[in-house]
């Protein structure tokens, strides 16, 4: 899917691109490419003059954030947070590469998966000027840092929900949820640090320090990405300690249940023992010749069971 954004009369106008009919693209246009097909990749090479190496890097799922330059074009690869659609869990997140390409005439964004980053940039920036490639790149970076903070807050809220469920749980499901959240934080931590390196390189690039407003936005982006990195580190430490603590809690809850079951088993074994004695084939069995022998044995077994339950209850209470 390919869209183009052009500024017309001070407004950003979006149109879909039909590669079979579009042989050239005007200068100063923002081209959005998402999950491109093979013909669309060939169209980008020929019509937009994008180096093939840039396309390979941008569409590689294992590519990490970095900056590259070739043949007058610049590639900026960023790691963007997304929901992990491959797992059937609402607590699983991952990252995917998001490429920004500067050619001599165009600003291009390329991603193999649908992300909310472009929607956030379009909805939360009052003015977007596609011909100002540096400014638009910084707007993407700032929104990306804010997106990480938003995702981290969601993870924190989900952690609190799982924490409440774990307090009285004896299942492993909640621990698996915590494992998914912890794995997501590992992905986020790695991606944030890689994005941070990219931003630090930009601060040493003359293009991003040419205008005061651009450099101010770059500094704000650094502050946001540092905050995201700090939040991610704190949440990882909290989650690691929580997983260890609640693993012990689940084991302790299970031990309590087993203790109760053991007490019930002992109490119920008392009447069983009495009944087994009276089931023996002997002539001189106590109370065998009386009319109320059966009732006496039943009541006696019941009283012995109650006495045993009281003794075990007091013992377990004293042990606590």
* Cα Dmax for the chain: 113
- For residue 84, count other CB atoms closer than 10 A to its CB: 18
pLDDT of residue 258: 85
Q: Which of 214, 230, 252 is the last residue of a domain?
A: 252
**Kind plus residue range of the DSSP H or E element containing 213:** helix 212-278
Q: Where are the beta strands (DSSP E) in 84-218?
A: 93-102, 106-111
Q: Quick one: which of 96, 116, 99, 114 has its CA closest to 190? A: 96
Whether residue 63 is found in the same domain as residue 81: yes
pLDDT of residue 169: 61
Token pair belonging to 260: 């109760």
pLDDT of residue 226: 92
Q: How far apart are CA 45 and CA 32, in angstroms?
A: 15
Enclosing domain of residue 307: 253-319
Whether residue 30 is found in the same domain as residue 84: yes
Whether residue 45 is found in the same domain as residue 73: yes
Token look-up 């469920």 returns 165
Token pair belonging to 8: 């017309």
Q: How far apart are CA 194 and CA 191, in angstroms?
A: 5
- What pTM does this model have? 0.75
Whether residue 203 is found in the same domain as residue 280: no
Whether residue 275 is found in the same domain as residue 218: no
Whether residue 240 is found in the same domain as residue 148: yes
DSSP 190: H
Query: Which CATH number characterizes residue 180's domain?
Result: 3.30.460.20
pLDDT of residue 288: 67
Q: Quick one: which of 192, 194, 202 has its CA closest to 226? A: 192
Provide, for the chain, the percentages of residues in helix, strand and coil under a 3-state DSSP scheme, each rounded to the nearest 5: 60, 15, 25
Whether residue 159 is found in the same domain as residue 281: no
Whether residue 97 is found in the same domain as residue 191: yes
Question: Contact, 270 vs 309, CB < 8 A?
Answer: no
Whether residue 282 is found in the same domain as residue 192: no
Whether residue 270 is found in the same domain as residue 292: yes
Backbone angles phi, psi at 142, to 5 degrees: -65, -40
Whether residue 39 is found in the same domain as residue 68: yes
Q: How many domains does the chain have?
A: 2
Helix (H, G, I), strand (E, B) or coil at 87: coil
Tens-digit pLDDT string for the chain (320 aa): 888 888 887 788 888 888 877 777 888 888 888 888 898 888 888 888 888 888 888 888 888 888 888 878 889 999 999 888 777 777 788 899 999 988 888 889 999 888 888 888 888 888 888 888 888 889 999 999 999 999 999 988 988 888 787 766 656 677 788 888 888 899 999 999 999 998 888 888 777 777 778 888 888 889 999 999 999 999 888 888 877 777 777 777 778 888 888 888 888 888 888 788 777 776 677 776 677 777 787 888 888 888 888 887 787 776 55
Query: Which CATH number characterizes residue 314's domain?
Result: 1.20.58
């Amino acid at each position: 899917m390919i869209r183009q954004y052009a500024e017309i009369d001070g407004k950003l106008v979006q149109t879909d691109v039909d590669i079979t009919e579009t042989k050239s693209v005007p200068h100063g246009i923002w081209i959005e490419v998402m999950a491109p097909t093979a013909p669309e990749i060939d169209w980008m090479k020929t019509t937009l003059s994008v180096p093939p190496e840039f396309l390979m890097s941008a569409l590689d799922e294992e590519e990490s954030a970095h900056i590259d330059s070739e043949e007058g074009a610049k590639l900026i690869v960023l790691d963007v947070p997304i929901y992990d659609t491959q797992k059937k869990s609402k607590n699983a997140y991952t990252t995917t590469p998001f490429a920004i390409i500067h050619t001599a005439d165009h600003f291009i964004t390329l991603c193999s998966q649908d992300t909310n980053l472009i929607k956030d940039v379009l909805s939360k920036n009052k003015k977007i000027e596609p011909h100002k490639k540096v400014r638009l790149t910084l707007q993407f970076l700032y929104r990306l840092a804010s997106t990480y903070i938003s995702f981290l807050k969601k993870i924190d809220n989900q952690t609190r929900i799982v924490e409440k469920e774990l307090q009285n749980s004896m299942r492993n499901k909640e621990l698996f949820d915590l494992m998914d959240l912890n794995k997501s934080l590992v992905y986020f931590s790695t991606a944030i640090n890689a994005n941070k390196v990219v931003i630090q390189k930009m601060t040493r690039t003359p293009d991003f320090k040419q205008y005061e407003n651009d450099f101010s936005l770059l500094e704000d982006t650094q502050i946001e990405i540092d905050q995201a990195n700090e939040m991610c580190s704190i949440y990882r430490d909290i989650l690691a300690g929580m997983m260890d603590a609640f693993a012990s809690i689940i084991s302790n809850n299970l031990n309590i249940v087993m203790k109760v079951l053991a007490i019930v088993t002992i109490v119920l074994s008392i009447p069983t023992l009495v009944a087994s004695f009276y089931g023996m084939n002997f002539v001189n069995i106590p109370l065998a010749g009386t009319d109320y022998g059966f009732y006496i044995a039943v009541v006696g077994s019941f009283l012995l069971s109650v006495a045993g339950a009281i003794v075990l209850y007091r013992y377990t209470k004293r042990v606590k």
